[in-house]
Each structure stands twice: as C-alpha cells, then as structure tokens.
Structure 1
Amino acid sequence: MASTFKVAVIQLHPKPFQIEQNFNKAAGFVKAAAAQGAKLAVLPEYHLTNWIPKDEKFLPLCDQWETYLKKYQALAKEFGICIVPGTIVERHRDAVKEEDKLLNVAYFIDHRGEILGKYVKKNLWGPEREHLTSSGRDVHDVFDTPLGRVGMLVCWDLAFPEAFRELISQGAKIIIIPCFWTLYDCSPAGLARNPSSESLFLDSTLTSRAFENTCAIIFANAGGPPGKGYAGVSQVTVPYVGPIARLGSAAEGMCVVDLDMSIVEDAEQNYRIREDLARHDWHYDYRHSAKEKL
C-alpha cells in the first residue's frame, strides 16, 4: 500500500430538489478527479437534495437513495476511483414503530464499485432532530480500504472528540467527513461578534482533531454563491502541517492533493496517542478491541 496517494475534495452547491442535475455535476467532478490520478473523491453532505425537509418535494427524493447509490457504484467502477458520495438521505419503514424514518448515510465505495463501509449520522444538529433518526449508540465502525484503515463521520459529529477517539482506538488512520455547514449555523449573538465564526470553528477544530488523534482528515463541505451563508473551507488536514489543501472561498470547486500518510506515522511516533490508547491501564473509560490494528 503506497504511503502517498492523491485525494480529491469536492465542494458543491446542491440545488434544491434537482437530484439528477446535482448528480451529473458531482459525476463530472469525480471524472475530472480520476483523470488527475486521484484514488479517492469525497463529496459534501446533502449534495443530491440540499436540506429542505419541510418541503413536500423532499421526501419523495429520499425514496430514490438506492438508485443514486448504484449510480455512484457504477461511476467508481468505470473510472477506477474510490468515492464517498457525501451523504444520501434514505427513507425506510420502521417495522417496530410502523412509521417512516429518515437516515443520513455516508458510504465508502471502492474502485471496483463495492461498498466497503457505511455510516449513519449519529450527532444530529438541532434542526435535524425533528426529521432524522440518529444511529444512537451504534458503534463507530472502521473498515479496511485500498487507502488504509478509514472511519467516517458526518458534519456535526466533528464537534465531538469522543467520536474521533472511538475511531482511532479501532485503528483508523484517515477520517472522512462530508458536511453541510453554513455561516448561519452560528447564533445571532455569535455572528455579531464574528461573522466568520463558523469558518474559524471548522478550521480550528479540524486542525486540532488531526493533531490530537494523529490522523488525516478529509473534509468536504457544501459551497455556494457569495452572500448565501455557505462556509466552504473544504480541506485535507494532517498533523504538523494543518491543511495541506483548502478551498478558501465558499464557491464550488475541487482540490486534488497528494496525501502523504508518512506524516501521520511521524506524528504518532512523536505524540504516541495510539500507544497510550493501547495501554492495559489506560485511564479513560473507552477501550479498543483490536490492539494489533493500532
């Protein structure tokens, strides 16, 4: 497994309800990433539908989740590239409660079109709780990929250091985070103090998480027209360096960057986070179950 490979972070503006148009635009970016030699392309949260759950046109789109998941599998196989297609909102029937539920799901699709991993968003942002069902107390899974051990989180999950620790304790070296985070997620009081508060939150937290967990973070956020509140700042972030690639504006775009995983190994030798987690007398409550994968 090569220690350096190209990854693509794709920042998109999801047009409300234009699911086929949004897919075609995303597919165009993925094809361009593959042409530049990228081994992985990561898209934002809600990139197919945007997030307008109270509109009557939203729920029928969530019934098409399997159609678009299969389209991404075919795309990955055709161009020989791994894809994390942001998140796809899925409507399922809850047999116990006899009612529908919505899940916000991220998938890792390998270059053969096979699904290697799946994650249902756990930590829901306030307005999402009325509509989405969290993965609750399900374990944060880590899985093997052509790029190494990978874990996935979604958007507001990144505010919880516990989520990272659970993934790192299972051997994750790369954390992938699709996101739909806007400047207007800040309160009026916060915006009055700093209109760019949420960008500061994202940049600071992503760099901190990379350092404190000796991992690489691939973060793909939604973008959009100026003045509409989109935060952007999609990036690939590693210890020592911080962002090695960052989309500085909220506009749509893509960056393809060489991710050198030896940086992660060097940082672990220095900070020894995983070594501490592996100790039999580790003094915090969470534990790992596979020392040999750390």
Structure 2
Amino acid sequence: MNLSIAIAQMQVTPGDPAANITKMEQFIQAAAKRGADLVVFPEDAICGPLAGQNAFVAEAPGYLAHMQKLAVTYGVDLVPGTWTVGDGIALYNQAHYISADGTLAGIYRKINLWETEKVIIAPGASVSVFPTRFGLVGMVVCWDIAFPPIFTAMNQLGVELVVSPTFWSVPLHAPGTPDALAARQEDIDLIDSLCTARAFENDIVFVYCNAAGTLNLPGSVVTLSGCSQITHPVDKVICRSDGNHEDLLVAEVFHQRSAAAPTVPV
C-alpha cells in the first residue's frame, strides 16, 4: 500500500449542508493540488451532529451523488465523513468510500453509538472491508475506535488501511476554565493512545479525521478535540494536527502487512 492521504480537519456548521459542502470542495481542491490520492472528512461533515443527523435524511442520495461528482472532478478517492441514511423505518449513521472514478467502493454503518445518537440512530450490524486501488480498506466512525473487536474482525479479513471519520468533543465545561482545559487534555491523551494502539496491534495504517473548532448548543458551547492524525504500525505517528483549528494534513504513506497476520486469542 502506497498513497498520499489528506485529512481535512474542518469546522462543521450544524444544519447548513450547502455551506459545509462548499467548504468541503475547497478542502478537496487544495488536497488535490498537494497530490493527495485520498481525502478524508469528519463525521457529520455535511449536516452537522445531533438534530442534523435526522433533519436531512431525504437529501442523503443527493449528497452521495454530489460527492461522487467531486471525486471525479478532482481525481481523488474520497471519504466525505458521514450522514444519516434511512433504511425502512431505521436510521443509520453511514460512511462512504468513493473511488476517483465516482464508483462507491464501500459503506459502513456506525456500530458503537454515542449516547445522543442512540435516541434516533440504529447501530450497524457488521464491519466493512472492501477492495480499492490501494488495497483493502475498512471504515469505523468515532466512538468505534474504543472497541478492539471491530478491528480484530477487519484484521481477519486482511484490512490494510482503516479510516475513521470522527466528531469527538470535550465534555461540557465553561470554555477556558481549568476544568475545560483538563478535560480536553484527557481526551487528547485518550485519542492519541487509541490511534497509536489500533495501528500497532492490527498491523494497519489508521486515519483519524476529527472535526475542528466549537459547536454552539442551547446554553452552552462544546469544544472539539481535534488531533486528527495518521498512525502506522512501525512509524507510529506519521502526521498529527497540533490543535483543534481547521487544518489540512497531507502525508505519504507506505505499508506492507506482515506475511503472518497477528494471532487472535480464543
């Protein structure tokens, strides 16, 4: 596996798909100019989290079609974050991997839901590993990173690269207070350890793309953790955003899985 990966750590505007899609294209264009083969966006990048997860379900097919056009226009593979899709009476938080020719290579429905999602979103039922021009790719979303069995299942299918669109925020505290700063540092420490561990223990390249900035909620402001990064089983941290500001990271990645897959205890 040898490719250039771009991570778009983007601030998402809740409930404004048009503004978010415009910004996403700007990131894609900039990444393509820097030679990126694959561009990855945060969870909920188009609609925003919370209410935005179910307010635009009818528009989901249009989002996919538009992102497929952008992949073709800029000649890049694309993981455009996630958005909510309907399937019968159930709603799912779904990620998509779009190839540079516009074809849909794979989808993944988030299995491990955060508390706010469980009210309206159903959990996915299976892991997702699929072929791409770079090798076998899998996807997880945000809180999934904390659950090793998902990675074990993908590993057994030969996955080489795992992509995680994420919207990871700090627990609610008054911005700038000691409690808020301590909470953010605790989250950063957890994110960094999980990203490094998942790559190392599974012999994979792991791409973690978090959102940037803040999220205004009624009566409070939530701060995003940032710290988007690419981790590697040998090289550890290939690149990492140093904060929660908007950022575009582009890095060359090379990895060849060992001939013997890691053994899984029974």
Scaled by the length of structure 1, the TM-score of the pair is: 0.81
1:220 maps onto 2:209 in alignment: yes
CA contact (8 A) 1:22 1:48 kept: yes
Given candidates 71, 74, 81, the residue that maps to 1:79 is: 74
Match of 2:168 in 1: 181
Letter matched to residue 156 of structure 1: W
Q: Give the direction of change, closer, same or farther, for the CA distance of 1:49–1:4 in structure 2 (3 Å limit).
A: same
* Helix, strand or coil at the partner of 1:90: strand
Q: Given residue 249 of structure 1, which amino acid in structure 2 is its aligned partner?
A: G
Distance in 1 (CA, whole Å) between partners of 2:168 and 2:14 is 16
Q: Deviations over 1:46-86 (max 9, x none)?
A: 11111132xxx764422211111100001101111100011
Partner in structure 1 of residue 41 of structure 2: 43
Match of 1:10 in 2: 8
Shift of 1:275: 4.8
Q: Does 1:141 align with 2:162?
A: no
2:20 is aligned, of 19, 22, 25, to: 22
| Percent of aligned pairs sharing the same letter | 30
Partners of 2:238 and 2:135 in 1: CA distance: 19
Does residue 1:131 correspond to 2:126, yes or no?
A: no
SS of 2:73's partner is: helix
Based on CA coordinates, which of the two structures has the bigger radius of gyration?
A: 1
- Identify if the C-alpha distance between structure 1 residues 171 and 224 changes in structure 2 by more than 3 Å, giving closer, same or farther: same
Cα shift at 1:93? 3.5
1:59/1:151 Cα in 2 relative to 1: closer, same or farther (>3 Å)?
closer
Give 2:62's aligned residue: 67
d(CA) in 2 for partners of 1:275, 1:21 = 44
CA distance in 1, matches of 2:73, 2:181: 48
> In the aligned structure 2, how far is the partner of 1:59 from the partner of 1:38?
32
For 1:112-131, list aligned pairs within 5 A: 112-131=101-120
Is 1:185–1:198's contact at 8 Å kept on the other side of the alignment? Answer: no
State the match for 1:290 in structure 2: none
Alignment of 1:211-250 (within 5 A): 211-225=200-214, 228-250=222-244
Give 1:98's aligned residue: none
For this pair of structures, how many residues does the alignment match? 255
RMSD: 2.1
Q: Report the equivalent of 2:255.
A: 261
Query: Displacement, 1:194?
Result: 3.3
Aligned 1:165-204 pairs, distance under 5 A:
165-184=152-171, 194-195=182-183, 196-204=185-193
Q: Deviations over 1:155-208 (max 9, x none)?
A: 01000000000001100010100000012279xxxx589321111110011101
> 1:76·1:83 contact (CA, 8 Å) conserved in 2?
yes
| Matching residue of 1:33 | 31
Cα separation, 2, equivalents of 1:238 and 1:59: 35
Name 1:158's counterpart in structure 2: 145
Output the CA distance in 2 between the equivalents of 1:206 and 1:159.
9
Residues 231 and 239 in structure 2, CA contact (< 8 A), matched pair in contact too: yes
1:83-98 mapped onto 2 (5 Å cutoff): 83-94=78-89
Long gaps (5+) in structure 2: 174-178, 216-220
TM-score normalised by the chain length of structure 2: 0.90
Taking a change above 3 Å as real, the CA distance of residues 71 and 193 of structure 1, as seen in their structure-2 partners, is closer
SS of 2:223 mapped into structure 1: coil
Q: CA deviation at 1:225?
A: 4.7
SS at match of 1:254: strand
